[in-house]
Structure 1
Amino acid sequence: MLATLIVAACAFAVCAYLILPARRQVPRGSQLPNGPPGQPVLGNLLDIPLNHSWFQFQEWSKQYGPLFRLNLAGRNQIIVSTEEIANDLLREKGTIYSDREQLPMAAQLMSRNLRPLFMPYGETWRNVRKLTHSLTNVSVAASYENLQEEESIRALRDLARDPDNYETWFERYSAALILRLAYSKPVNTGDEPSVRKVLGVVHAVERVASPGAYLVDTIPAMLRLPTFLAPFKREAARLHTEELGLFRDLLREGVKNSREGPDSEDNFCGKWFRNKESYNISDDQAAYAIGTLFEAGAGTTAAAMMSFILAMVLHPDECRKLQDEVDSVVGPDNVPSFIDMPKLPRVRAVAKEVLRWRPVTAGGLPHMLTKDDVYKMEDGRSVFLPAGSNVHPVQWSIHREPKRYPDPDSFRPERWLDKDWPTYREPLSQFPNLQNFSAFGFGRRICPGQNIAERSLYILIARIAWCCDISQRRTPSGEAILPPSYDYTSGFNVQPKPFKFDLKLRPARQEALEMQYDAVWAAGKERKSTT
């Protein structure tokens, strides 16, 4: 009997722990957001699909409105489905909407609060952000364009020669750029141990941080379990040891390479090292800040380029329009360069539409609210948002808001180029662009590598359009093999699963391509290792 009472008391305590935090004093004249009803204790936890949850979030937004609430076993989740609300909260009120919930597995156990993506909002985060901003802001990003042109011409040549390995070429393109910028580390094949190790860290983070991947994120009390009863702790310790060792080694190598090169060719590590006292962060925090710029840029740029190819295969008319624009500006004898970008608005529109149509971080990343807030909805309701809530801007829904993006499920670059669309802006020599675009996040947590990623996408898209004809692959009987419109990997960063297509050189492009390639990557020429 006593044992039964003890078990019952423990169960009641757990239930109270899970349920009571959601009960808050709602200010007069306001109300909690609407949301789907849940189950006792678990709330809506079992209602959310493990994979591609953004589809369900979008359906709920149609039923409960653009700002609705979920109860995830006592954790308050506020889902944001429009860009206006996301900016009102996460940008305009960034002082209280910029924290991160410290999920046990990804933030605490694996990252040990060193990874900027998961780091709590505060002085340390601001110091780390100061470093990453100094390395990636608009002004300095323009100085990296020569490397982007070098890496893009190599990717273009290999893609034209071996299109079936498009994933390899796109991954090498983005990885090589970041490794050269950060560490003065040349990449030749993309299969170098350092490249595979860093990509391994990227994939591990995406897996570990995926919603629902670990029970301890739902029941934080499991952190109290001893290690021998908690296999997730042993896994996290192993992953942390591997990534910390890798980032430390890369930092040391980058500083060494920077010392050996002239000051004018400083890499990211050298820039930190020469001014480290001004940043007030530890060596390990700097190692993670620079190392995770690779996470922010490499995988996402490669994934976006894969979605670009998919869009061109599914929409051949858009591919031809893109080619026509590039041809009219550049012609067949010159490879596109950054100098041409102001005259290539469709190139920029296609890049932006790819990120809208198939956002890499489709589910978005939650911000944690640190102070109670009330938000006035468009319909006049005052909605109470309690402190401690995770405010979750879901990019998939935000990019499909019919009011801002009519015909949202269609791939329509014209929405950025035609005055009849609500997203059109002038002048077309400047717009469209990717500055502060919602695909990179919101407010103070916006992706620090957006300026580099923007240029990387523009130059490679322009050069592929100039050089290549992309088409649907056909069976021996001539029937088109149409890839699925949405068959994407799982995780918080996603990309299309491998698909079949045909790609060949356009007429009169071979000579100019080879001349440009040889000028930079001539056979036997040692690749310079500094930036």
Structure 2
Amino acid sequence: MALNSFVVNAGIIGALLVFGSYYVRHYVVMWRRNPQGLPNPPGPRQLPIIGNLLDMPRKHYPLTHTKWMRKYGPMTYLVAAGQPFLVINSYDVAKDLLDKRGSNYINRPRMVMAGELSGIGKATGMTQSGTLWKKQRRYLNKALSGEPIVRRDYSELMIKRATILVKSILDHPENFLWEVKKMAGHVVIEVGYGAIGDDEDGSHNYIDMQIELGIITAKTVQGYWVDYFPWLKHIPTWFPGAQFKRDGLRWGKQFDATRDYMFETVRKRMLSEDQGVSLPSSFVRNTLRDLYSKPPPDAQQLKEDEEAIKCSSFSFYRAGSDTVESVLRSFLLAMSLYPEIQARAYAEIERVIGSCRLPTVNDKGADKMPYIEALVLEAVRWNPPTGSGVPHVPIHDDVYQGYFIPKETIVYNNVWWVNNSTEFQHADVLLRPQDRQLSRDPVYYPNPSDFIPERFLLADDTGSGVTFNKSTLDPCQYVFGFGRRICPGIDMSVQEIWVAIVFILWAFEVKRKGGGKWDTDEDRFTFTFISHTKPFDCDLIPRLDKAKELIEEAYGSLSSPERRK
């Protein structure tokens, strides 16, 4: 008994010494780097040694960040076990720091659980600034960036997948949410790897793999003690309490095996094309062909380039469908809750497209269907897929509006608040008098919890039509990130969302089904790492027999492999 008590007491003392060393080190370093003694932005009171560790949320980040915003204003500063955090609650501040000073706020945080143990840190969106990240961005930007590139290279694929989507809903309307998930997944799989949905022998279903990896990703980013105390990653896997390490290493092997398999499958088949093997166009195939067509680099350079292509394609495969699925779920829920908006949107589709042909991307444009364009923006705004964004990290100390922001601060952008700001006046009493002129946040979206596409529209000069309201903030300016870390697939995602929305509204009337409480944002949305709607049900009723005939005809024209679901 005495020995056990000694071990326990020694463990407690050891833990306190470790915590204390982090605490002392943090404040000594901060004092040396901030000789003028500038204050940090306001935030919750810090406890001795652990700082704000007990304040850090493990779920529903946007709701916690918004609660802080109402008390502390446009910036909330915390320190957890020596690690500084900054939550930005203002679009103007986010633009100033993450965009205008983007060269400083270009890095990503060290994610021990997600990155070093589980291997997700190789993903483009998570990779720290450096050679690998720059190469990944260059490859992805070339393939995905710009509306003309997206229209030219991916419109046919999107139309095909939207056709399969509405056909699948016709056959199995009760599975509409699953069909939306599959469409979003199939598009990125075909763009990335040229695959249909599984490999040739059927032993690897790419959609199922994608879903499983998404579940793992959500687990790894929820916050582990090892992320606050990185030294914990060195404890043995057999040690009591080391389940996190066993999980992380197991997930890392799964990520690596999947990433290697998908890349090598395309690479090996591409190298066999000269022997008559046919391979569909894809990001991996096209980028590798471009790489191999140039004078061969040295072996190390070639290895780095192939690794960058492998990681960037896998990043697209893993995360490229999340935003689209989230927005389409929000759209379907909104249509079931706001039938008058659905009726107005369909009236515009009927006027422009009619019922004698399927929609095409040539129907897209504010000059052709402005209400649909506004509806797409509202679907993006209503429930931002990443409510707190992916964090940035400054590589140098910074001073902003008289506040000191240390380098390596983990900076979150509260996308949810920018999206839902109505009553905020930045709690002026908490700001220093000399900063109060900067304490105003624009009222971007009146009645933010309501689904109102009209907020993006104005009556045109003739009074008989509508035009875009340029004074209303475009949600794509913040939902897809800031500065040099902005999502390279933004144009592709927006067009895919547009195609799916138009096809669904053209083919079906969405009607609310069942009860349930859907009055508040908390009733509707999950506020998880990728925020979705909570499970809901609705009826998708075919509008016209002619539309059904056109869908059946278009689906029948697809080859058998293309129709694989």
- TM-score above 0.5, yes or no: yes
Alignment partners' CA distance in 2, 1:351 and 1:262: 41
Query: Are residues 123 and 187 of structure 1, via their aligned partners in 2, closer, same or farther at CA, if it must alter by over 3 Å?
Result: closer
Give the deviation of 1:19 after TM superposition. 5.1
**Is the contact made by 2:196 and 2:561 (CA closer than 8 Å) also made in structure 1?**
no
One-letter identity of the residue aligned with 1:387: K
Alignment partners' CA distance in 1, 2:67 and 2:527: 19
1:250 maps to 262
Task: Select 2:62's aligned residue among 50, 54, 67.
Answer: 54
Question: Which structure 1 residue ranges, 5 or more long, are not aligned?
Answer: 377-381, 421-425, 475-479
Tell me if 1:269 matches 2:296.
no
Among the aligned pairs, what percent are the same residue? Answer: 24
Q: Deviations over 1:238-270 (max 9, x none)?
A: 212112111111112223555648999631111
Q: Deviations over 1:346-402 (max 9, x none)?
A: 2222222122110111121110111111112xxxxx221111111110111121233
Give the deviation of 1:231 after TM superposition. 2.6
Alignment partners' CA distance in 1, 2:284 and 2:470: 32
Query: Are residues 29 and 21 of structure 1, via their aligned partners in 2, closer, same or farther at CA, if it must alter by over 3 Å?
Result: closer
Mapping of residues 26-175 of structure 1, within 5 Å:
26=34, 28=36, 30-111=38-119, 113-138=121-146, 139-142=148-151, 143-175=153-185
Q: Deviations over 1:82-101 (max 9, x none)?
A: 22211111111111101111
Alignment partners' CA distance in 1, 2:317 and 2:393: 24
Mapping of residues 262-301 of structure 1, within 5 Å:
266-276=281-291, 281-301=304-324
1:329 maps to 352
**Is the contact made by 1:15 and 1:41 (CA closer than 8 Å) also made in structure 2?**
yes
2:382 maps to 357
Give the deviation of 1:284 after TM superposition. 3.6
Query: Are residues 299 and 6 of structure 1, via their aligned partners in 2, closer, same or farther at CA, if it must alter by over 3 Å?
Result: closer
More divergent stretch after superposition (252-261 vs 341-350): 252-261
1:452 maps to 492
Q: Could you tell me the TM-score, scaled by structure 1's length?
A: 0.87
2:191 maps to 181
One-letter identity of the residue aligned with 2:391: P
Alignment partners' CA distance in 2, 1:527 and 1:42: 56
**Is the contact made by 2:555 and 2:563 (CA closer than 8 Å) also made in structure 1?**
no
Alignment partners' CA distance in 1, 2:15 and 2:536: 52
Query: Are residues 409 and 27 of structure 1, via their aligned partners in 2, closer, same or farther at CA, if it must alter by over 3 Å?
Result: farther
Give the deviation of 1:524 after TM superposition. 6.7
Alignment partners' CA distance in 2, 1:405 and 1:292: 32
User: Secondary structure of 1:362's match?
Assistant: coil
**Is the contact made by 1:38 and 1:71 (CA closer than 8 Å) also made in structure 2?**
yes
Give the deviation of 1:34 after TM superposition. 0.5
More divergent stretch after superposition (518-527 vs 321-330): 518-527
**Is the contact made by 1:258 and 1:267 (CA closer than 8 Å) also made in structure 2?**
no
1:512 maps to 547
**Alignment root-mean-square deviation, CA:** 3.2
User: Secondary structure of 2:76's match?
Assistant: strand
1:477 maps to none
More divergent stretch after superposition (280-289 vs 113-122): 280-289
Q: Could you tell me the TM-score, scaled by structure 2's length?
A: 0.82
Task: Select 2:207's aligned residue among 195, 198, 203.
Answer: 195
2:249 maps to 237
Tell me if 1:493 matches 2:513.
no
Alignment partners' CA distance in 2, 1:224 and 1:148: 46
Query: Are residues 133 and 488 of structure 1, via their aligned partners in 2, closer, same or farther at CA, if it must alter by over 3 Å?
Result: same
1:471 maps to 511
One-letter identity of the residue aligned with 1:16: S
2:233 maps to 223
Give the deviation of 1:21 after TM superposition. 1.5
**Is the contact made by 1:92 and 1:443 (CA closer than 8 Å) also made in structure 2?**
yes
One-letter identity of the residue aligned with 1:467: A
2:404 maps to 384
Query: Are residues 99 and 263 of structure 1, via their aligned partners in 2, closer, same or farther at CA, if it must alter by over 3 Å?
Result: farther
Question: Which structure 2 residue ranges, 5 or more long, are not aligned?
Answer: 295-300, 423-442, 461-465
**Is the contact made by 1:45 and 1:73 (CA closer than 8 Å) also made in structure 2?**
yes
Give the deviation of 1:161 after TM superposition. 3.5
1:345 maps to 370
Give the deviation of 1:14 after TM superposition. 2.3
Alignment partners' CA distance in 1, 2:170 and 2:471: 30
2:463 maps to none
2:439 maps to none
One-letter identity of the residue aligned with 2:124: P
Alignment partners' CA distance in 1, 2:360 and 2:475: 20
**Is the contact made by 1:336 and 1:462 (CA closer than 8 Å) also made in structure 2?**
yes
2:17 maps to 12
**Is the contact made by 1:141 and 1:451 (CA closer than 8 Å) also made in structure 2?**
yes
Tell me if 1:21 matches 2:26.
yes
Tell me if 1:416 matches 2:452.
no
Give the deviation of 1:290 after TM superposition. 0.2
Query: Are residues 19 and 462 of structure 1, via their aligned partners in 2, closer, same or farther at CA, if it must alter by over 3 Å?
Result: farther
1:379 maps to none
